[in-house]
């Protein structure tokens, strides 16, 4: 093994070890939360997404109290060994790349053009269909990596009825998910709860096509709230 290959191998082992440690900590938090559920009825009182994890415990394991499958991989959070790391691999097969141009990708310094004021920091994508066919059946996978600890989260989001006509541009937001074109993001993710520097990797795919991808850097500091 060359020194270069050995360094890469050592880095991979280090990353895997850190990921395992992060998931072990979440498992410990889950165990503590479940123990409290059994011994303290008030702790288990509210569970708005009915996933078997009380809302107060969801913050401990960084899952979404309003979504039973936080990472979108099809497994209920209570039964998911990695509830904030989707087991769905971003799509790689297909007949050429999807005809999408990512015109803009933001995770900070967002702006609400309708209200003409700054918006709370969130993942925002400006997409343009550069092809001749309307795009539908679209998915977005995004990964967040903590550059200080190597901890990672990954989410799979189906855009449902969202379509993009030929030549059309639309913004897609991952925030509280209450408006058209807005999809719910995990409020307890490391993006919202941790101030370390981060790297986002985003994959955008449509049925039958390979994804387009982009990387976004997030400076150290928490996600800023709009005034």
Q: What is the pLDDT of residues 93-143, one digit of tens each?
A: 677 788 999 999 999 999 998 889 999 999 999 999 999 999 999 999 999
pLDDT at 34: 62
Q: How many domains does the chain have?
A: 2
User: Is the pLDDT confidence value at 69 over 80?
Assistant: yes
- Asked, for residue 200, whether it belongs to a domain, the answer is yes
Mean pLDDT of the chain: 85
Lowest model confidence (mean pLDDT) among 12-16, 132-136, 157-161:
12-16
Are 123 and 25 members of one domain? no
- Asked, for residue 33, whether it belongs to a domain, the answer is yes
How many Cβ atoms are within 10 Å of 199's Cβ, its own excluded? 15
Are 147 and 204 members of one domain? yes
pLDDT at 210: 86
- Asked, for residue 148, whether it belongs to a domain, the answer is yes
pLDDT in tens, 189-204: 999 999 999 999 999 9
pLDDT at 90: 85
Are 135 and 165 members of one domain? yes
Domain span at residue 18 reads: 3-79
SS (H, E, C) the chain: CCHHHHHHHHHHHHHHHHHHHHHHHHHHHHHHHHHHHHHCHHHHCCCCCCCCCCHHHHCCCCCCCCCCCCCCCCCCHHHCCCCCECCCCCCCCCCCECCEEEEEEECCCCEECCCCEECCCCEEEEEEECCCCCECCCEEEEEEEECCCCCEEEEEEECCCCCECCCCEEEEEEECCCCCCEEECCCCCHHHHCCCCEEEEEEEECCCCECEEEEEEECCCCCCCCC
Are 109 and 214 members of one domain? yes
Are 105 and 160 members of one domain? yes
User: Is the pLDDT confidence value at 166 over 80?
Assistant: yes
- Asked, for residue 90, whether it belongs to a domain, the answer is no
User: Is the pLDDT confidence value at 28 over 80?
Assistant: no
- Asked, for residue 225, whether it belongs to a domain, the answer is no
Are 201 and 127 members of one domain? yes
Write the CATH number for 206.
2.60.40.10
């Amino acid at each position: 093994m060359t020194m270069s290959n050995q360094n890469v191998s050592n880095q991979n082992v280090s990353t895997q070890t850190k990921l395992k440690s992060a998931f072990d900590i979440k498992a410990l938090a889950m165990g503590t939360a479940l123990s409290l559920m059994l011994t303290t009825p008030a702790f288990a009182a509210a569970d708005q997404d009915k996933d078997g994890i009380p809302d107060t415990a969801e913050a401990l394991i960084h899952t979404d109290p309003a979504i039973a499958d936080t990472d979108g991989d099809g497994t209920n959070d209570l039964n998911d060994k990695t509830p904030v790391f989707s087991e769905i691999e971003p799509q790689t097969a297909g007949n050429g790349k999807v005809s999408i141009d990512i015109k803009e990708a933001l995770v900070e310094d967002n702006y609400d053009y309708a209200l003409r004021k700054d918006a709370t920091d969130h993942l925002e994508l400006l997409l343009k269909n550069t092809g001749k066919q309307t795009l539908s059946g679209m998915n977005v996978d995004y990964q967040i990596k903590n550059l200080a600890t190597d901890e990672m989260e990954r989410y799979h989001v189906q855009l449902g009825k969202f379509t993009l006509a030929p030549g059309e541009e639309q913004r897609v937001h991952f925030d509280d998910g209450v408006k058209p074109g807005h999809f719910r993001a995990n409020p307890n993710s490391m993006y919202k709860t941790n101030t370390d520097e981060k790297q986002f990797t985003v994959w955008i795919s449509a049925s039958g096509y390979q994804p387009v991808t982009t990387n976004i850097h997030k400076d150290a500091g928490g996600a800023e709230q709009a005034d």
